[in-house]
């Protein structure tokens, strides 16, 4: 029963050298990199920037900054 064998790590050959896990990690990191790149492309669009400035997203970030600094000070104690 290779499906229940803990030594396969997704490789299917039963060797258990972690190749399947490494490949999965690579796919995950590649997906995260593509999501960050895509978000950067969307946010670089002038229409999106105008829309976000109308919503006041920058104001929320400025309002949250003192709370974040206070959190870091408390954490450093």
**Domain identity same for 39 and 50:** no
Structure confidence at residue 39 (pLDDT)? 92
What pLDDT shows up at residue 37? 95
Cα 69 to Cα 64: distance, rounded to the nearest angstrom: 9
Do 21 and 2 lie in a common domain?
yes
* Count of the separate structural domains present in the chain: 2
Q: Which residues of 34-68 are buried (b: 16+ CB within 10 A; e: fewer)?
A: eeeeeeeeeeeeeeeeeeeeeeeeeeeeeeeeeee
The pLDDT value given to residue 17: 57
Looking at residue 4, what is its pLDDT?
A: 47
Rounded CA-CA distance 6/12 in Å is 11
**35 and 50 share one domain:** no
Identify the segments of the chain with pLDDT beneath 50. Answer: 1-5, 14
> Which residues span the domain enclosing 64?
46-77
What's the token pair of residue 60?
A: 């929320």
Assess whether 1 and 32 both reside in one domain. Answer: yes
- The answer on 33 and 56 residing in a single domain is no
Are 40 and 5 in the same domain?
yes
pTM beyond 0.95, yes or no = no
């Amino acid at each position: 029963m290779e499906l229940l064998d803990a030594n396969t790590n997704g490789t299917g050959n039963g060797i258990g050298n972690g190749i399947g896990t490494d490949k999965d990690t690579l796919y995950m990191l590649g997906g995260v990199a593509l999501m960050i790149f895509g978000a950067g492309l969307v946010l670089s669009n002038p229409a999106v920037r105008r829309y976000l400035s109308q919503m006041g997203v920058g104001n929320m970030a400025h309002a949250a900054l003192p709370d974040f600094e206070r959190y870091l000070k408390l954490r450093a104690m």
